[in-house]
Chains A and B, each alone.
Chain A
C-alpha cells in the first residue's frame, strides 16, 4: 500500500525561527516521485518541489530546503528564517510510477499547518 504520513498536525513558530516539516512515505515501487505543495489561507495549492526516487541530492531554494533520505523513506522540508507569509498548510505527496502502477494520481498526506507569528 502507498501512504504518506505527516505526523505534525500543527506547528507554531516565531518569525525568523527555522522549522522542519516531516514527511514519511510508504511504497513498494522502486520508481516514484515526491512532491511538496503549499496551501495558503487563500486556498489554492501551490507546487513547491518534486523529486524523483533516483535523485537523493538535497535541494535548496532560497529559504527552503528539502532532505530526501531513501533509507528512512523521508522527504523533510525545512524553512530557514521563517516569515509570516510562510503561514500555510503544507502537503507532502507521493506519485506512483508512470508504468505499472495506477494512472498517476497523487497520494497526499494530511498536511501540516504552519503558523508563523511576528
Chain B
C-alpha cells in the first residue's frame, strides 16, 4: 500500500481482556517495528522484525506482550490480560532495510488503546 496501515485506529477494552493490534507495512519493506507512545512520553521501542531473522523482543515490557509477523508482511501485536498502564498509542513503522543502514522509518497513524 501507499503507507503503513494500522487497525483499529481506536480500541477501548476492559482491564483483563486480550487485544490484538494489526499493522500492514509498506509493500517491499523488510523491517517492521512496534513502538508505544504514552501521554507526554517519547516513543518506547517494543519489538523489531527484519526479514526472516529472529525478532528483537528486547523492548517488550512484560510477557503479556507478544507479536508475530506472518509471511514477512502483516504483523499483529497481542496484549494479554490488559492493564490500565497499557493505555497508550501503539505505533507501527516499517523501513526498507535496517534503520541503522540509512533507512528511515515510515510510521502508521497508530492505534490508541484505552484500558478501562
Contact = CB atoms under 8 A, between A and B. Distances in A.
Nearest to A46: B107
Range class of the A interface residue count: 20 to 34
Contacts of A95: 99-100
Nearest to A35: B104
Q: Which of B48, B50, B59 has the most CB of A within 10 A?
A: B48
B53 to A, nearest CB: 8
B56 A91 contact: no
Interface string B97-116: 01111101111111000000
B107 A105 contact: no
A104 B107 contact: no
A20 B110 CA distance: 28
The A interface is mostly helix, strand or loop, or mixed, namely loop
Interface of B: 31, 33, 35, 40-43, 45, 48, 50, 53, 56, 58-59, 89, 91, 93, 98-102, 104-110
Given A103-B56, A104-B50, A110 B42 contact: yes
Given A52-B102, A103-B56, A104-B101, A91 B42 contact: yes
A110 to B, nearest CB: 4
Nearest to B58: A102
Given A43-B110, A44-B108, A95-B99, A103 B42 contact: no
Given A6-B42, A106-B105, 12 more contacts: A4-B42, A32-B100, A33-B99, A95-B99, A96-B100, A98-B98, A104-B31, A105-B56, A105-B59, A106-B45, A108-B35, A110-B40
